[in-house]
Amino acid sequence: MNEEIDFELPFIHSQETYRLTEDLGKVIMITFWASWCPDCGVDLPKKEQLFKSLDEEKVKMITINVKGRERNNNDGRIFTEKFLTQPTLEDNGVKVYNQYKCEGVPTTILINKDGDVTHKFGDQTSFLTIVEAVGTLI
């Protein structure tokens, strides 16, 4: 695993933390988002359906609320409560968002079983393109 991509962040609704290295050996999909973003409002419900249908032993899906891009501190938590069941983390401002060199939200990162970033998709990428890329990594 490229150590530059490792991180540890708290879950949005608890003091427990998640470290990326916990899921080495799986394909990992990370989606960076903000509650005010219209494209995130289209993207996240589709990913929520995908989350409910994927084998969690093969693919780990994580969303990261980019707290540093929110208008109010609790907006990401409120959005998560209403719309998400997949594991959701809270960025430390924009630290991990910047670590992955994201340029907007949503941004989707795919990491292969060896811990290498294989794909980075911006806000205009179709959901089908992302799903197809996951399929090539499983």
Q: Is 34 left (phi over 0), alpha (psi -120 to 50) or beta?
A: beta
Residues of the chain with pLDDT under 50: none
Residue 83: predicted pLDDT: 94
What pLDDT was estimated at residue 86? 95
pTM for the structure as a whole = 0.96
The amino acid sitting at 92 is N
pLDDT on residue 3: 72
Residue type, 63: T
Residues 61, 49, 66, 89, CA torsion sign: negative
Q: What is the pLDDT of residue 62?
A: 98
Return d(Cα 115, Cα 111) in angstroms, integer. Answer: 6
